[in-house]
Amino acid sequence: MNNYIGQKIYPRSGDTQTVYLKNVITDPNIEVGDFTMYNDFVNNPCDFQQNNVLYHYPINQDKLIIGKFCSIACGAKFIFNSANHRLSSLSTYPFPLFFAEWNLDKANITEAWDNKGDIIIGNDVWIGYEAVVMSGVTISDGAIIGTRAVVTKDVPAYTIVGGVPAKTIRPRFAPEIIAKLQTAQWWDWPIDKIRQNIAAIQSGQINRLI
């Protein structure tokens, strides 16, 4: 049974709105860790990479990397580099996209936008309803992204952010607890060890972790 846990698409019996995201992803430039779940009550959650990962074109080779045990709410969006019209140009119009129209070199199509890099989401991150994460952002372990926040900058571990653009609201725990959690990295433990420690994790008792 332990070998099977986490391998289903729908982890809850009778619930087709919630999926283990790793098991529905086919795009090689999207990496998702075990047990990370996505809930969608508007669209089919299996269509996450089509509906929620936007402007993610193979020509850029940019990646969406999501860790283990993350919770992603309905409508969360990840907006990639092709959405970033080039700011150093005198015009924001993406001329290189229409290379045939303007007799431009097709090889220079990526000059239409600024490339800010991958989106990296740590482990045990909660991303709220209709939040937006922009290209180049890293959200560290244990962070919480508020409903409809727009994340344009990196988010430290175990930090709650919200707003447009997202700003720090508060850390989730005292610094010494955050340090212990980052050392423990419970999401990498064997399944049986996690199971034994669920009560301690849920009750917030860091010193009871095995």
Residues 108 and 207 in one domain: no
Residue 184: half-sphere exposure toward Cβ, Cα within 13 Å: 20
| Residue 13 within any structural domain of the chain | no
Annotation says 85 is catalytic: yes
Query: pTM for this one?
Result: 0.92
Residue 197 burial (CB count, 10 A): 17
Name the catalytic one among 6, 9, 65, 85: 85
Among 69, 64, 65, 67, which residue's Cα sits nearest to residue 53? 64
Residues 57 and 129 in one domain: yes
Residues 79 and 145 in one domain: yes
Distance CA 78, CA 91 (A): 25
| Residue 10 within any structural domain of the chain | no
| Residue 11 within any structural domain of the chain | no
Domain that holds residue 140: 18-172
pLDDT in tens, the chain (210 residues): 355 687 899 999 999 999 999 999 999 999 999 999 999 999 999 999 999 999 999 989 999 999 999 999 999 999 999 999 999 999 999 999 999 999 999 888 999 999 999 999 999 999 999 999 999 999 999 999 999 999 999 999 999 999 999 999 999 999 999 999 999 999 999 999 999 999 999 999 898 886
The single residue listed with the structure tokens 């994790």 is 201
